[in-house]
Structure 1
């Protein structure tokens, strides 16, 4: 059966969210809807025994979230009404590409973030990985070989990002090889359960054209 889910995402001051999106989950399915002047809408095809669902809304301008909200499907339409976005995000990674003079919109990762030693990258003391399970177009790895706050470059950092333009995706690796460069400023490195704050930069060539990325990570340390 098919159910229509709709609502309006608003900021704490009551104004509409203009730059944001909503995630809907039920059963094994994950759906996305970008907001238009606050409005969002899903068409969910579900089984009769899949009665419950959850939504999470995000305000990208203010880095805020609704948190997880639980509902029950109505038939044929479920109107969620006004959904306020007022909670600061627990952790996030934000980065932006510039290629051939074109500045791409920022990329945001709020879920699927880990900060712990990575057995696939044993040369680094800790790796921050942003890998939303629901979106293969977004993936970032920051590997550190130091835990002392300060500014570092090249061999002290592995910055790898999956860069997607349209239907084309390619891996970008920023470190000393292939004329690429990477640097970062580690402003805070907390204990387990505390925050790691780091800004990062990468530059180099991809298919012969210059590209650079700048970003920031505010994440909780897992191990």
Structure 2
């Protein structure tokens, strides 16, 4: 099974433009993320896919591999789908460029899903971590996920799901971490399928896979890390960096 880590990296983030080129302990955030993915030792190749010459130069400057996007893209999945079309690869792991604390344990669990799936039931695998802080649960920037009994995703939302209707039983909440592992064909399918209303309303690309019947296996992890979505997140990452 040939597996690549691919890091979609656009410069113009809506909430924190240029965040991937912000300094984190002497190196840009995107370089820290690339080196973390490479350091897991799990992948045949680690590739940054970007529309930014500045990001490309930073990755090439540390000896990394870059693919430049030929077209503008609305989602990370679209960007990766274009990049993998001509690559010989079985599983593509999408590592978010703003995740400099990417670690081996969680990514290894994602790859194991496909090794244990001889019938190819799983189109994608992704990570979730339990939420306990009420502010995080209520935060619309925190995407929540609910699953069936086998751990397949039923729905993703920025709203609080499930809804706590009565005091008992107590609801358990899970945050969807934006780290995916795809079969190559799932990525190629995503690119050719138009966005549907639920994805458009929620602004969550994973919903497109569900709307078209793809099976997403969710994997629990206790590693939360720090996603750099805001300047405040960057300051927390700097404080946590050792």
Q: Which category describes the TM-score, using the shorter chain as reference length?
A: under 0.3
Decide which structure has the larger Cα Rg and report it: 1
TM score, norm. by length of structure 2 = 0.26
TM score, norm. by length of structure 1 = 0.28
More strand by share: 1
